[in-house]
């Protein structure tokens, strides 16, 4: 499955990000803890270049906690300061300002040595659609200012928000990239809801999700759908048929596929991480 999607508002957002970078000190890059690599936009490295960056691994409550620890260590080894958070429940939010100050400590020291009056840190919040930017903004500011929604593309424009006296935040729309060269990335993003369902085939995504869970979390599939060990070990197409029939949908496999996809998205099969460090050959030494 190849997904190509670059709406006009995303092209505009990319230009706006490039133009606004000169006004900020640091970029808060949000990624989804369930897919910390696949939810990073590869265009950002070219756009941001040497701009200081804090990677916020959001939705940590939905991800495999051991995998999240490994990804935090991985990003640190890549030279980034990373912090696992759950913006929805305000977990880890208090650590963002200290982390930003740590990333900017050399700049802060230079400004102080030059006799410049301290000012609020200016930060840009950026990430792909549906990664939780608006929820984070609302948590930081302490009131519902940024529009939120459990679907990609809710945030359309840009706005500055004040976070106490220490940080000024610039929100940006979510930006995807024109084409996913790796079809696995497209499937992972689709499974977590980062791509509009109108652009994908839910049955393909359901089969991908079932295959993944059968490989890494087989007990969770069996528990959720009341399957025997033998049934849970079926290949994904047969497994989808079995789940559809057990739920009383008869031969309505589209309905069965929709059930599986939304169960996975809503965490009804438990916590999971789609991006695996072992695929990068890094898992053995990933935890400091």
The C-alpha atoms of residue 193 and residue 58 are separated, in whole angstroms, by 14
Q: In what order do the strands lie in the sheet with 167-171?
A: 81-84, 53-58, 26-32, 121-126, 167-171, 159-163
196 labelled ligand-binding: no
101 labelled ligand-binding: no
CB 27 within 8 A of CB 1: no
Residue with token string 């890059």 = 29
Closest C-alpha to 87, from 136, 36, 39, 124: 136
CB 271 within 8 A of CB 62: yes
132 labelled ligand-binding: yes
59 labelled ligand-binding: yes
CB 193 within 8 A of CB 261: no
273 labelled ligand-binding: no
95 labelled ligand-binding: no
The C-alpha atoms of residue 13 and residue 10 are separated, in whole angstroms, by 5
Angle between helices 236-246 and 253-265 (to 10 degrees): 100
DSSP notation for 30-79: EEETTSTTTTS-THHHHHHTT--EEEEEE-GGGS-HHHHHHHHHHHHHTT
246 labelled ligand-binding: no
Residue with token string 């739920």 = 247
The C-alpha atoms of residue 163 and residue 1 are separated, in whole angstroms, by 42
174 labelled ligand-binding: yes
The C-alpha atoms of residue 246 and residue 6 are separated, in whole angstroms, by 39
Which pairing describes strands 26-32 and 81-84: parallel, antiparallel, or unpaired?
Answer: unpaired
The C-alpha atoms of residue 246 and residue 171 are separated, in whole angstroms, by 45
131 labelled ligand-binding: yes
Residues making up the annotated binding site for GTP are: 58-61, 130-135, 174
Residues making up the annotated binding site are: 58-61, 130-135, 174
């Amino acid at each position: 499955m190849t997904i190509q999607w670059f709406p006009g508002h995303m092209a505009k957002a990319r230009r706006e990000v490039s133009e606004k970078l000169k006004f900020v000190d640091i970029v808060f890059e949000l990624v989804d803890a369930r897919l910390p690599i696949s939810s990073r936009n590869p265009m950002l490295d070219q756009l941001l270049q040497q701009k200081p960056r804090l990677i916020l691994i959001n939705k940590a409550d939905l991800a495999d906690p051991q995998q999240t620890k490994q990804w935090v260590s991985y990003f640190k080894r890549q030279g980034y300061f990373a912090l696992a958070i759950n913006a929805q429940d305000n977990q880890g939010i208090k650590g963002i300002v200290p982390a930003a100050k740590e990333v900017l400590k050399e700049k802060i020291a230079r400004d102080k040595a030059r006799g410049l009056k301290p000012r609020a840190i200016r930060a840009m919040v950026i990430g792909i659609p549906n990664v939780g930017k608006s929820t984070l903004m609302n948590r930081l500011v302490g009131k519902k200012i940024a529009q939120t929604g459990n679907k990609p593309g809710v945030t359309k424009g840009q706005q500055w928000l004040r976070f106490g006296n220490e940080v000024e935040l610039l929100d940006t729309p979510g930006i995807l990239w024109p084409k996913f060269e790796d079809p696995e990335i497209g499937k992972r993003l689709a499974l977590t809801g980062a791509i509009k369902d109108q652009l994908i085939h839910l049955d393909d995504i359901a089969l991908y999700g079932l295959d993944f869970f059968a490989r890494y979390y087989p007990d969770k599939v069996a528990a959720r759908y009341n399957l025997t060990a033998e049934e849970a070990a079926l290949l994904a197409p047969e497994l989808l048929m079995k789940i559809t029939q057990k739920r009383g949908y008869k031969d309505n496999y589209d309905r069965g596929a929709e059930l599986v996809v939304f169960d996975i998205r809503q965490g009804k099969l438990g916590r999971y991480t789609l991006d695996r460090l072992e695929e990068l050959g890094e898992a053995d030494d990933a935890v400091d």
